[in-house]
Structure 1
Amino acid sequence: MELKIAGVVKESIVDGRGIRYTVFTQGCPHHCPGCHNPQTHDFYGGKTVEVGELFEEFQKNPMLKGMTFSGGEPFCQPEPLAELAKLVHGMGKDVTVFSGWTYEQLLEKHDPQVDALLQETDVLIDGPFLEEQKNLELAFRGSENQRVIDLKETRRKGQLVLLDV
């Protein structure tokens, strides 16, 4: 299955807990002023890769704690990312996903593919980047409104659980 990406960072320590393989998806409808990755907004930019290629690269580094999907907007390509996330989970590793939509907005889509990616997400960092709430002291996010949600615990408890980072 194919995925449109802007690029990857093979070893990141800023895109979630531990050393991570970060996939930057191509295409974003949010266009947040002050966005850290404006080159990822164009849905016609980037390059197309096979999910299997990314997974092969990921497998080469035993030091990785997991994989992160950033953007762009990962939930614009939920089907291939859910497939990739399943492969990552099959190795006992975790998946973090960034989204400009809130968790509640993603649930309101009632889209089976979006739901499938949410099911394969361990940590969701949600909400648009808001320049007026920018804070460089925050772990893994750029503005105060963005949340770091423990989706595994949220599913288990049936209520929103934030990670203390």
Structure 2
Amino acid sequence: MNYSGIKYTDMVNGEGIRVSIFVSGCTHHCQECFNFKTWDKDYGDLFTLEVENQIFEYFKKYDKSIKGLSLLGGDPTFKDNIPVLIEFLTKFKNKFPSKDIWIWSGYTWEVISQSEELFSLVKLCHILVDGKFKIDEKDLTLKWRGSRNQRVIDIQKSIDTQSIIKYIL
């Protein structure tokens, strides 16, 4: 898996101060995407064990300041990213159980919950921002998303109730 960048003190992509990883690879190709270079799965740098360990060390060093981890892109739910992110998130959750994980996907909850492959990744996270960015529904006043069709979903509550539970903003 490649990534285009890591923001170590991000306050835009999720609640609180976060570490945000922008992965490469996306098949949605949303019109006027803000990060279109990441559509190419080979864009950026290889996500290595060294990079993973740098992220873990950062969380150890700034544990009290950082609320969690955010996965954006491209699309973290791009097929090639799923196995790498499952392995990474499994380690992350074991090392930092009190940190939350946000994930953005061009797929909707309905599609994700019907796909064993997609769901295997998303269920490791706490909050999902779902759906493609739609230029005709663009709204710059929204938190954590770019268009009105996108939803901010509490993943674990949605799994427990077997219905979509929106995250209370």
Give the alignment's TM-score, normalised by structure 1: 0.91
Runs of 4+ in 1 over 4 A off after TM superposition: none
Give the corresponding residue for 2:141: 137
Deviations 1:5-43 (A, max 9, x none): 111110111111111100000111111011111121112
Structure 1 residues 8-87: aligned runs within 5 Å: 8-51=6-49, 52-53=52-53, 54-62=55-63, 63-76=65-78, 77-87=81-91
Deviations 1:72-102 (A, max 9, x none): 0101211221222223322121100000111
Give the corresponding residue for 2:3: 5
User: Cα RMSD between the aligned structures?
Assistant: 1.4
User: Does residue 166 of structure 2 align to residue 162 of structure 1?
Assistant: yes
Deviations 1:31-66 (A, max 9, x none): 101111112111221110225333333333221111
Total equivalences in the alignment = 161
Question: In structure 1, how many angstroms separate the alpha carbons of the residues matched to 2:100 and 2:138?
Answer: 27
Question: In structure 2, how many angstroms separate the alpha carbons of the residues matched to 1:80 and 1:61?
Answer: 24
User: Does residue 102 of structure 2 align to residue 96 of structure 1?
Assistant: yes
Give the alignment's TM-score, normalised by structure 2: 0.89
> Which 5+ residue runs of structure 1 have no aligned equivalent?
none
* 1:55–1:84 Cα contact (<8 Å) kept: no
Q: Identity of paired residues, percent? A: 32
* 1:13–1:20 Cα contact (<8 Å) kept: yes
Instruction: Please give the secondary structure, in 1, of the residue aligned with 2:21.
Output: strand
